[in-house]
Structure 1
């Protein structure tokens, strides 16, 4: 028997097999040279999420504060658009569950409701100011106020009818697991959940002397303080979960930190609103501290139930408008009720 030639690919010292000498790596093939680093076709790294959040946050805050400060009309136009887009996000999320609400009808009616609330607040305030000075002007304002009330009543009574007529016109639907009645219910829930609370901002924006941008500024500062305090305290001291099945990241320690910072900002708002008593500012701060996180949890529950991460993508790095203004949906109704009862 001829002697067996030793395997040239075995290394007795290293104990592993080398690849054959004639084998070439496809990545190192001479026919495909590596791309040049200075080639214009090489994609540049995208903007980081942090810088996206900072840039969109600064632009959004400037637009928001500037519109509130400039006049009552820019305030009304901006928040009317915001609440319409929030309702659009809500209807889109409901479509993820298979519902088909009347989005166009609902959004159109939401704009009418917000405009009616704005005109009602504006005319009521002018009526209070002119009550003792100009009787003729008071009569004209009372006439406009009457028509606004009639408009609101007509919408309230005809809205379900309009939605049902829309379902009757399009029935039956293909690939629709729900009956038309849940579609009507979802459309109405969106108006109650989004439009009515955001329309209540008009009642808060007008003070004894007319439109007062400082009142909306104060509300924004309180809500931002609650979010900031909760984030800082929760990140450093958070141990006990607030609602783990809805939002695992929220803790009782974070809520306490947000509440303390909100009360502190409520006290400091005396420099912005010196004519507002301290008790009123602290009550408003307490409402934000309690109902702001509840609004956030409600929106988190909505997103979990529909299986979406963000309500929209209108603000890069921040999600949708419903993500940014979810606290308003619980805070504003409570503040409006307190204002009607005690002022």
Structure 2
């Protein structure tokens, strides 16, 4: 894989990753390829704000590194060309870079890399080979990939595997591996019941200028609870519209699981400027797994006199929904449209 297309700015970002506090010494690297056979090489995990992974129902959210990255410290000896750093990871959690990179400060080292998959464990291993010698004290940072958001329904990752790293010489098996798992923040909480909400709805279109200009606004909002646990807070949402086209908006009907229901909808706040009409709404309903809440809207429009200089695209999103560590990544906590024609 080729990393020659990285910009200097990208190299600076990758080279400036914060180092973690854990370290492991990997020995057994002696041999003619090493300048000092007695020197140890130490791998230091790269620390950044960890990501929470929901392994399932009734367990604690787990902490995993945001980047698959390590620093190779070798104060007592040069690293010879051919040094290999391998990082093993769970492909359900991480996306590899198009080409792994190794940096020293703002300089990109010449490397090659390849990925293999263990057919028994399904874990992937990226092996990075440094193609040039690295002087003692110049400790390269090797970056292999990054965590990516796993969306519902595959976001509950049962038995996620730790990412690990090792360093060695080509065709020589390393004597130890370093776990890259960070310390678990206390804010991740205890045993959790994952929950999730999806926002969807129905759009209406308002036209002017003989149908050559138009703007969309929500006519119905649907909040769908995907479980497995109940939503820990009452359903609340915001509606953002363009006041050049919309005078006001109100919630006129509510249905819970397709039946008329008094959801206790109330207006929390309204912000009106020359370019934004935003309203925040709350209900008194905590949705259980499988519940569906439909809210019918009445939107009063105003007719623009002609073309508009700018437009605020309409959007509806969740607000104030409680513990986001246990909230499932549905990918549908906001709905919007960007296909208005206003000029």
Same fold (TM over 0.5): no
Rg comparison, structure with higher value: 1
Higher helix content, 1 or 2: 1
Q: TM-score, normalised by structure 2?
A: 0.20
In the superposition, the TM-score normalised over structure 1's length comes to 0.20
Considering fraction of residues, name the structure with more strand.
Answer: 2
